[in-house]
Chains A and B, each alone.
Chain A
Amino acid sequence: MGDVILAIMPTQQAEHYKLSLLDRLEAESIHIFREAAESQCAVMMYSVGKDSSVMLRLAQKAFHPGPIPFPLLHVDTAYKFPQMYEFRDRTCAELGLKLIVHRNEHAIRGNANPWDIGTVACCGQLKTQGLLGALSEGGFDMVIGGARREEERSRAKERIFSVRDEHGQWDPKSQRPELWSLYNTRIGPRETLRAFPLSNWTELDVWRYIEREAIAVVPLYFAEEREVVRRGGQLIPVGEKTRVLPGEKIERLLCRYRTLGCYPCTGALASSARGVDAIIAELEKATFSERITRVIDHDQDGSMEQKKREGYF
């Protein structure tokens, strides 16, 4: 029982005073960015992927002609692809951005890695703990992230402005109702807020926007011949520390990444899409969801909601 409510957006621009879908999404995101920037001490998550690239452009637009009024934060696990570090440093230098890189050095020294302690524990230490450490160190009360509701079921329920308790934990049972574009950004003394300007974007919107705005992204998204092994139905890249298991053999395949995370846990996709237009064409026909190449999501049912309750982004 119950109702369904639909918001319908035009795919094509029709009339004079109507915005195209991308323009509408952009305007909404800018509004959210500006609202988030009102808090005392904001920071924007920068994970170097395509969504982060789009976020960066939207932040520039939101505060133009002023500078972006908050620093960027990269929670580094030490297992990112080398191309990502290179892209990150070049982008920040070119745009003159303030970037904070935070690693959970304690866990890295303790040799946290997905092969020995499992993906769940590894993510918990390097990402979740890393993030919480970075937030308390920086004293940030507003963390702007690039998550999209379309990505995953628990995100579909998340607010655009979402409260975390003093331990960074999300309580999905007591979320604030969020009506119109009136965001409640008030929080108590030790609480923090997350803001998600890309909530209503889909993966296709992101790529169409990248194409329209000619935004640079890490070359890993484009097809190239890469060394991979087949493991659990995934094409796992062979990185610096990847252990090749008995019976596995390294292959060179034309492939690309649909999402970028840590190389041990990111599967590649057999693809020949070498440019943004080819990626869009590929996605328009895609039959598998985006997160299928994320190893961590499959660990347990409802795993994402679990992780997020504990503070994962």
Chain B
Amino acid sequence: MALDYLGSLMLFPLSYYSYKAYRVTRIQVFSYLFLGFTLLASGTFSHGLALTLLALSRHARPSLEYLALISTTISMIAETLAYLLIALGYANVSRVVTAAVLPLLRRSLPLSITLDFIDTLLLTYIAFSAFTIYSSKRERTSLVIALSFTLLLAAHILQLASMLLLSKLLLTISRLSYFSGLAVLLYLTAEVGRAR
């Protein structure tokens, strides 16, 4: 729960810098990154809120459980949309990714598994793109981004495995991996903020 709140706090500065970058350069990719990171931060916050509500609902009104369910759903959808936007930022072409993702949404798998699977696909694409950029530019900050998205990807794979195997341990490791990914993104935010 605390990791979620902390995670969302880590993501908002990156979202702010992406917005600033869009305002200065008017480059569309920055607007995708801004929306993506904002949604990711909101989704992470929403997940924390869902857990808080669940914790409270044990001792209070059962209607809180319903609110928790809504928060969880919102957080999952926000996260998927966030990765989609970031992937679009990397692709800079919307048609290819959207065409690949939409058929998946129509399948009748449970929502959380479907969204987690989509997240995994999108994150694989994002991490691959980030590593490609790093290998061509050899920028240290590009490696930071590649590393953070790889950690987020690992988190989603582990989460998917935890849901299929019903393993609490895998879920805990997944949340730690997710938080580490956000922490690496925070390091990037600090690097950007340090520019004189």
Whether A and B are associated in the same complex: the answer reads no
